[in-house]
Amino acid sequence: MKAYDIKKGNVIEHNGGAWQIRDIERSSPQGRGGNVKYRFTMYSVPGGNKLDLSVGAEDELKEVELARRQATFSYKDGDAFVFMDDEDFTPYQLDADVVGDGAGYITDGLTGCYVQVIDEAPVGLQLPTSVILEVVETPPELKGGTATKRPKPARLNTGIEIQVPEYIANGERVWVNTTTGEFGGRAD
């Protein structure tokens, strides 16, 4: 698999171990013939050791074969998140550091998640592309403002904060993109 095909959440093999990609930085040098470089922040699976890897866009990386099991969020056990397999009801327990920033998008009964499993051990989580969350705190809309779109901060029921358009009020349910953390529209 070429480096430019790698997405957040993919698991690759590096130095004989499995590593999950958590963050991707892309840099394109200016000028002619500049090669695009990718810098991956990745964590060992299992274990959670951090490693930064810089590669060229055309470099080959080997993706690790892992099972993806569709699961539903069940409950939180201390700092761990427990997901229930949709087919055979196997519980998968993922630590908070494995879930990472995705914790801000997880609500009771969240469906469409995929737990990544290597050798029967849950090692990663793929969230749905977008989720519905409720706005619990946002400033009121300014009347008589200009016709331009001005975003305002909004705290959601999971504790994360995103930018929303001015017309969104407390108590509204909104779509949020789990990859970018951006507002995606009203849900109702």
C-alpha 159/C-alpha 31 separation (Å) is 43
Q: CB-based contacts of 166: which residues, under 8 Å, 6+ apart?
A: 141, 142, 145, 149, 150, 151, 152
Tokens of 146: 């200009």
**pLDDT, tens digit (0-9, with 9 covering 90-100), for 35-67:** 788 888 887 776 667 888 888 877 888 887 778
pLDDT in tens, 79-104: 899 999 999 999 999 888 778 788 88
Q: How large is the average pLDDT for residues 30-36?
A: 68
Evaluate if residue 132 carries a pLDDT over 80: yes
Q: What is the pTM of this model?
A: 0.66
pLDDT on residue 31 = 62
